[in-house]
Amino acid sequence: MNTFVDKIFPYLFSEEPPLQRFAFQALNETFLLHPHATLRIIEESEGRTSSIIGFLGEVAVDEAVLLELLKKVETTSGEAQQPYAALMKYASTSLLVNYQDNVRPYFTEEGFAHIIDLAKEKDTEKILQRIADNYERLEDPDIPFEESFDYGKRLIVSLIERGDYSTEQIQQAVSEVLASGEALDYPEVFYAYAAGVVRDEQMIPQLVGILSRQGEELAQQEAMHALIKIGSDEVVDAVAPLVLEEGDFSVEVLTKIKTKRSRDVLYEKFIACEDPTLKTILADSLCQQLAVEGIDDIILFMEEGYDTGMLLLEESVYGCCVVCEVEHEKMSDWKVTIESTSM
């Protein structure tokens, strides 16, 4: 684990719900947690992490994690099984095939049949045809969208593992659609996903182009995740101009990339921002970055009046100070506010 994760990870197991929530928000969808960290979260899920296990996004699932997930589903029933079963989809195709007798009950019959068939497929052209066919499945109201979407991602990973990822072809395809002004479709969504899987820095301009397309939420989300996974200063600098104009996805990218450059840009945008709602979000983002250097400015903003309809900044600042071992005279006041709001 990196320094940021080392510092905040223990608070996922805090007995103080506000600290646990803060740690979860700061870590979730950063793609920084290694399998052994995921394993510990799942192992402890019957205790202090039970409230967050169902909200984990994409996580690393190796053999040890999969075995723990199987252990959990075998010792629970009904709705309690669902959070654990849902995480199995992040295991590799080969791993799921190795444990097919155990994991099959937690997938749909058709969905798991696709996984088995994909593991056997050796022909790249046939995989490309499956990808094209899956675009139609995504439009079929009788097939669960998430199942088809996950299958599409698995197909992309299969191509990448075969060495059939071409930066030049994908760049050209996405650039042409962006230049035309046409709506982004499923190919662009999965191109963005692929760029994140391989951490393709050459795709940063195209990913930022997707990110800036308003109303294309599925593609924007995949581009956002890809940019977070790449996580370089080049990403930060490319996304920075969007923050005060676009907000939302661009702020999330900077929030989840835990680097000094990202913290610096968030702080610059926070100081420059005049919109109270966006400024509130940026203040929370700085706290999630553990940017203690910005706390005094955030507190001043809170005193002047922030957008309380968006979030509770007292919880964010309190969490940041506790994790960073910063003693502030207002901490007891923040805690009272947090507790009164939670009642």
Q: Does residue 288 lie within any of the structural domains?
A: yes
- pTM, rounded to two decimals: 0.95
Q: Residue 76: pLDDT band by 50, 70, 90 thresholds?
A: confident
pLDDT at 336: 93
pLDDT at 178: 94
How many distinct structural domains can be found in the chain?
Answer: 3
Full domain range(s) for residue 274: 258-343
On whether both 336 and 311 belong to a single domain, the answer is yes
Identity of residue 176: E
pLDDT at 37: 92
- Residue 61 DSSP label: B
Biggest alpha carbon–alpha carbon distance for the chain:
65
149 pLDDT higher than 80: yes
Q: Residue 48: pLDDT band by 50, 70, 90 thresholds?
A: low
Mean pLDDT of 265-281: 97
Give the Cβ contact number of residue 72 at 10 Å: 20
- Residue 31 DSSP label: -
Q: Does residue 27 lie within any of the structural domains?
A: no
Query: What mean pLDDT value characterizes the chain?
Result: 93
257, 276, 305 - which closes a domain: 257
On whether both 136 and 181 belong to a single domain, the answer is no
Q: Does residue 80 lie within any of the structural domains?
A: no
Q: In this structure, what are the phi and psi dihedrals at residue 267, rounded to the nearest 5 degrees? A: -65, -45
343 pLDDT higher than 60: no
Q: pLDDT of 107-117, one tens digit each?
A: 999 999 999 99
pLDDT at 193: 96
On whether both 170 and 249 belong to a single domain, the answer is yes
On whether both 270 and 311 belong to a single domain, the answer is yes
30 pLDDT higher than 90: yes
Q: What is the CATH number of the domain that holds 207?
A: 1.25.10.10
Which of 45-59, 73-87, 129-143, 231-245 bottoms out in mean pLDDT, i.e. has the lowest? Answer: 45-59
144, 164, 184 - which closes a domain: 164
Identity of residue 231: G
Q: 270, 272, 271, 207: which is closest to 234 by C-alpha?
A: 207
On whether both 204 and 226 belong to a single domain, the answer is yes
Q: Does residue 120 lie within any of the structural domains?
A: yes
